[in-house]
Every structure is written in structure tokens, then in C-alpha cells.
Amino acid sequence: MRSAAFRGEGNFAALLVAPSLIVLVVTTTFPLIYLFWSSFQNINLAMPFLDGFAGLDNYRRMMADGNFWHSIGLTAIYTISTVVLQVVIGLGLALLVMRIPAGQWLFRIVAILPIVLAPVVVGLFFRTLMFAPEFGILDFVVRWAGFGPVNWLGSPTPALVSVIIIHTWQWTPFAFLVLLASLAALPPDVYEAARIDRANALQRFWHITLPLIRPALVIVIIMRAMIALSAFAAIFAATGGGPGTATEILNLYAYRTSFVTLDFGYGSALAVALLVITLIVSGMLFYMRTARTT
Amino acid sequence: MARNPHQAARLRRGIVLYAVVGLLLFVWAFPIFWAVVVSLKSETEVLAYPPNIIFEPTVRNYRDALVGGFSILPSFATSFIISGLTTVLTIMLAVPCAYAFARLRLRGKKALGFYTLVTQMVPPVGLVIPYFLILNRVGWLDTYQGMVVVYLTFSLPFAIWLMVSYMEDIPCEMEEAAFLDKANRFQALWHVVLPQVRGGIAVTVIFVFLNAWNEFLFAVQLGGNDVRPVTVAMYNFVSVEQTLWAKLSAAALIAMLPMIIIGFAAQRQIVKGLTVGAVKGGGRR
């Protein structure tokens, strides 16, 4: 009797799950298998007569490719700096806003705007209205403050700084809103107890607040790291990966190799590399999440 | 009187607090504020140096963006069709699946849930390359059906997991009561569970629609002349017309208007959606 009911439940569950899983297998897993396959092929739309099985050639080429290692380095810089900036500024701002008795709504409203804008639009706004030489407002302010004209998007280091600023501007509100919500959900009595124990503000933050919001903090770090690793539209719109390859993170390098150089075989291998890196990083971060701090 | 120095210190701290917080507020609000200002200027006014704060506002850019030669309306309609279709399909698929994941016994459920989670982590560039080759072969490049299929890749896993967290929050008792009334499982899902997760479905709809509307990489590579969403139209505008910033600002603000409205109207729901996984923390993911 009971097992019959269970079987009924299992069948019903399978019926509900099947359509989604079939769609997922067809739309994501199948293309990924195709990606792996094409990473072992020569597929060059510019030179189709060379197409054919390439074995490990694309991967061997990758190991010897200076541009690949350069893009890996940029990916690391971009991901780590944007995640750290988002979390530090977002948490700092959330802690400050928590202490404001009135006007929190204003921050929530302002914070929602960057999040709902398309990254490509944000990239275009910053490229023109903010960073453009002379007429961009940031360039104007920097010159007015006496730091001379900076070719924001036209020279390598400022361009990298610029795309990091753009990403940080757009996504810090995400960290801010999530952390503000988790701070607001903390029970006030632990603070009372700590205050009676004469803990100062820093001690209270370090020993009480931080451990309590650690789960939320780790989730934010995981989500932001995943997004930063495959950031595309804002960089593409602001610099296109340039000047030269100064802002060409691995994601853009794989894209350009495929769709500009039309070398789909090598582009696939680069995309596989990004996929592997993404899975390793997320695995590490998830491990961090479950590991206990003592 | 004795408390005066204490009060002064507190006042000073308060002023510093508001100054810092106000500055950050300004930094985050300014780019959007400035885009609005520029969109109301004439093109010659935009290129005035130093930039003018006081000027005669004009709505010409908005008129041009709507009915001019570069009208954004066709792209607007395209985005609406793609995002709408993606949202409807995603919800129809994700809600039953999430119910099973959250509430029903199913062999291999954990593995299937993990699989769903991992598909969500696939970097888009790893999909746009094979999709270009596949859709090219099938003849689905620059078609609505091609775009919607591709958009399911990121909207479906996301929607399933968001809905799972809402499904987990509703109490079991009402379903059990329904079973006692001889309702079958499907009736219980339709009449008892669904009404309770309406809020969660609303949040999921908002996120799926928003992500589809703002998507760029797939759109620029797998779309084309027939299917050109607003994000691609904006990008092309700048590539062709380097200097028409006022028109760009106006067009971009119109393109983003649905998202801005959603942001204001559903601000509470969006924050809830963003935090649903984070605040619950522990979770079983």
C-alpha cells in the first residue's frame, strides 16, 4: 500500500521534472558536448579547406599562446578586484546605512537602478558620458582636479581600471542590497549582550556581525565571482577588449578568436578552458562555504 | 552639561556618517542622472566645454528615438516578443519541476538538482560558439525560435532554483488536507500549491524577463537584421554614430524604461529574489 503510494509519487514527480530536464539536456548539455568536440577540430570559417580532426593541437597551441596566459592574468585581476571591491564597498555601505534612522528607502531605490540596467547600456554610458576624452564627465572632473588628461579607454592600464570601475559601479548595489537585508534580519539582542560586555564597535563587527552574515557573504562572493568570470557586454561596449588586448579577459579572447578571427576550433578550446576554470573556482568557493571556521 | 562633549562627538560622527553615505549615494546616482540630463540636451549643447548644467531642455531626442530614422520601436517590439516568450516557456517548465524538487520523493533527485545547478554556471561564451555553428546549420540564426531556445539555457536553471526556494517555504498541511478530500496530485498542485507561491512566481517572472531583456552576447551573435533586440540596437547605434550622445542617451533610456519601471515598482520583490538564497544561508544547495 505504502510502496504503491510512493511509486505513484515517484511517477508524478518524474512527469513534472521530465520536460525541464529534457529541455536542459537538449539546450545546454548537447551544445556543450558539441563544444568539446569542436575543440578537437580545426574549424576555421576563413580557411574551411583546412577543416578536420586536430587532436590535441588546439590545446597544445593554447599552452604556448602568450595571449592566452595574458588573458588568464587579466581574468584573475578583473575577477578578484571587482569581487573584493563589491563586497567591501557593499558591506561598508550596508553597515553605514543600517545606522541611518531615516532615508534607507532612498538607498534601496538608487541601488536598484544599476542592477536593472543592461550591462551593454552601462558600458556605452560610461564609454561616452563618463570616460570619453574632454566631454566625458569623469575626464572633466579629473582634469579640473589637476590630474591632467587621462586617456581612460585608450591606454592599457587606465582601460583596465575603467572596466573594473564600470563593473564595480553596476554590481556593488547587488552586494549592498543582499548584505543590507541579511544585516536587517539579525536579532538585536546579541548586540545588547555585547554592549553590556563592553565590546567596542570593531570587536562587535568582527566577533558578532561577521560570523552571523558569513553565509550571505559567501553566497554573494560566489555569485559575483561567477558573473565576473563571464563578464562580457560592458567590457565589449566600453573597450571591445582593447586597446590591443589590454582588457581582453579570457571570455572576450574566446569570443574574438571565434567570431572575429573565425577560428572556431581554437575558440572552442579557449571556451572549454574558461568552463573548467569556472567550475574549479565555484567548486573551491562552495567548499569554502561548507567548511567550518573555528 | 557634563554630557556635552559626548554629544558633540556623537554629532560629529553623525555628520561624517551622512557625508560619507551621501557621497556614495551621489556616485551611484550620478551616471544615470547625467544620462537623463544629456538626453535632454541638443547635440551641440552636449559638446560644450565645460559641460553646461543650465540649458534649454528639448524632447527632440526622444521624438527622434521613437519616430525618427533610427527609431528604436521595432527593436523594442523584438525584445518584447523574445523576453515574453522566454518568460512564458520558462515558467511553464520551471514551476512543476521546482515543485517536484522541493516536495516530492524521486529517485536521483539530488543528482538532478545538482545537474540543474551546474548548467547555470556554464559561461555564455561556451554556449554561443556551439549555438552559432548549430543554428547556422539548422537555419535558425536570426530567428525568434533560435533566440528563445538559447535564452532558455540561462533562464530555466535559474528559475527552477528560485522557485524551489519558494516551494520549500510553504507548509505541507494544506496539500495533505487536499489529499484527504480525494484530490489527485495534479489538482493539489494546481488548486493548493500554486496559489500559495504566486508571489514567488511573480518574482521569477520579473527576473527571467529582466535577464532576457538585458541579454547581449547571444543577441549580438545569434540575432541579425530580422531579430535585433534593443541591446544590440543600442550597441550598433554607437558603432555607427560615434558622437550623437544625446540621441544615444534618449534611445537607451527608452530601451531601459521597462526595466526601470519594473525596478521601481517591484523593488521589494527584486531584493527578495536577490536575497532568497543568501539570507536563508544554510540551505541544502
Please name the residue that has the C-alpha cell 593554447: A62
Please name the residue that has the C-alpha cell 568557493: A285
Cβ distance B256 to A27 less than 8 Å, yes or no, reads no
Cβ-based burial of B71 (10 A; exposed 0-12, middle 13-18, buried ≥19): middle
> What is the greatest pairwise CA distance in chain B?
84
Three cell numbers written together for A215: 553565509
Residues 54-73 of chain A with CB under 8 A from chain B are: none
Nearest chain A Cα distance for residue B124, angstroms:
7
Q: What is the pLDDT of residues A34-50, one digit of tens each?
A: 999 999 999 988 888 88
Confidence category of residue A64, pLDDT binned at 50, 70, 90: very high
- Which residue from A16, A169, A254 is facing B100, i.e. has the nearest CB? A16
- Peptide bond preceding B50 in cis form (omega within 30 of 0): yes
Three cell numbers written together for A220: 554573494
Torsion angle of alpha carbons B272, B273, B276, B279, nearest 10°? Answer: -50
Q: Is the pLDDT of residue A269 over 60?
A: yes
> Does A34 contact chain B (CB < 8 Å)?
yes
Whole-model pTM over 0.80: yes
Cβ distance A125 to B35 less than 8 Å, yes or no, reads yes
Distance from C-alpha of A61 to C-alpha of A41, rounded to nearest angstrom: 13
Distances in Å between the alpha carbon of A56 and those of A31, A59, A288, B84? 20, 5, 34, 43
Q: Is the pLDDT of residue B283 over 60?
A: no
Cβ-based burial of A118 (10 A; exposed 0-12, middle 13-18, buried ≥19): buried
Three cell numbers written together for B45: 549643447
Confidence category of residue A192, pLDDT binned at 50, 70, 90: confident
Cβ distance B132 to A259 less than 8 Å, yes or no, reads yes
Please name the residue that has the C-alpha cell 517548465: B93
Does residue A45 sit in helix, strand or coil? Answer: coil
User: Cβ contacts (< 8 Å) between B101 and chain A: which residues?
Assistant: 17
User: Cβ contacts (< 8 Å) between A20 and chain B: which residues?
Assistant: 93-94, 96-97, 116, 156, 160
Please name the residue that has the C-alpha cell 553605514: A96
CATH class of the domain at B65-280: mainly alpha
Poorest-pLDDT segment among A83-97, A137-151, B197-211: A137-151
User: Treating both helix axes as pointing N-terminal to C-terminal, what angle do A66-98 and A104-116 enclose, rounded to 10 degrees?
Assistant: 160
Average pLDDT of chain B, as a whole number: 87
> Domain segments of chain B: what residues?
4-60, 65-280
Three cell numbers written together for A11: 511517477
Spatial contact of B141 and B222, defined as CB atoms under 8 Å apart: yes
Q: Is the pLDDT of residue A107 over 70?
A: yes
Nearest residue to A160 (alpha-carbon basis) of A52, A264, A87, A70: A70
User: Cβ contacts (< 8 Å) between A271 and chain B: which residues?
Assistant: 123, 125-126, 129
Spatial contact of B83 and B213, defined as CB atoms under 8 Å apart: yes
Sorted by where each starts, the structural domains of chain A and their CATH numbers stand as 66-290 (1.10.3720.10)
Cβ distance B214 to A118 less than 8 Å, yes or no, reads yes
- Angle, vertex CA A262, rays to CA A257 and CA A266, nearest 5: 50
Spatial contact of B104 and A16, defined as CB atoms under 8 Å apart: yes
Distance from C-alpha of B266 to C-alpha of B262, rounded to nearest angstrom: 5
Q: Return the residue in A71, A85, A129 with the most chain B beta carbons within 10 A, the one to mutate for interface testing.
A: A129
pLDDT at A6: 53
Buried b / exposed e across A148-180, counting CB within 10 Å, b at 16+?
Answer: eebebbeeeebbbebbbbbbbbbbbbbbbbbbb
Spatial contact of A241 and A229, defined as CB atoms under 8 Å apart: no
* Phi-psi domain of A52 (left: phi exceeds 0; alpha: psi -120 through 50; beta: other): left
pLDDT at B285: 29
pLDDT at A294: 40
Element (H, E) at A53: strand A52-53
Q: State the average pLDDT over residues A198-226.
A: 86
User: Cβ contacts (< 8 Å) between B270 and chain A: which residues?
Assistant: 112, 115-116
- Which residue from B131, B215, B234 is facing A31, i.e. has the nearest CB? B131
Q: What is the pLDDT of residues B138-169, one digit of tens each?
A: 999 999 999 999 999 999 999 999 999 889 88
Please name the residue that has the C-alpha cell 578537437: A40
Cβ-based burial of B153 (10 A; exposed 0-12, middle 13-18, buried ≥19): buried
> Does B235 contact chain A (CB < 8 Å)?
yes
Alpha-carbon A191 to chain mean position: 34
Q: Return the residue in A2, A51, A112, A275 with the most chain B beta carbons within 10 A, the one to mutate for interface testing.
A: A112
Three cell numbers written together for A271: 571556451
Q: Is the pLDDT of residue A292 over 60?
A: no
Type of residue at B207? F
Cβ-based burial of B140 (10 A; exposed 0-12, middle 13-18, buried ≥19): middle
Spatial contact of A14 and A21, defined as CB atoms under 8 Å apart: no
Type of residue at A280? I
**% helix, strand, coil for chain B, step of 5:** 75, 0, 25
Which value, in Å, is the radius of gyration of the alpha carbons in chain B?
25
> Does A115 contact chain B (CB < 8 Å)?
yes
Q: Is the pLDDT of residue A221 over 60?
A: yes
**DSSP secondary structure string for all residues of A185-227:** TS-THHHHHHHHTT--HHHHIIIIIHHHHHHHHHHHHHHHHHH
Average pLDDT of chain A, as a whole number: 89
- Which residue from B20, B106, B119 is facing A96, i.e. has the nearest CB? B20
Please name the residue that has the C-alpha cell 521589494: B268
User: Cβ contacts (< 8 Å) between A16 and chain B: which residues?
Assistant: 96-97, 99-100, 104, 189
pLDDT at A7: 58
> Does B130 contact chain A (CB < 8 Å)?
yes
> Does A242 contact chain B (CB < 8 Å)?
no
Does residue A44 sit in helix, strand or coil? Answer: strand
Q: Is the pLDDT of residue B282 over 50?
A: no
Residues 63-92 of chain B with CB under 8 A from chain A are: none
DSSP bridge partners of A44: A263
CA closest to B131 among chain A residues: A31
- What percent of chain B has pLDDT above 70? 95
| Pure H helices in A2-136 | 2-24, 30-39, 57-63, 66-98, 104-116, 119-125
Cβ-based burial of A66 (10 A; exposed 0-12, middle 13-18, buried ≥19): exposed
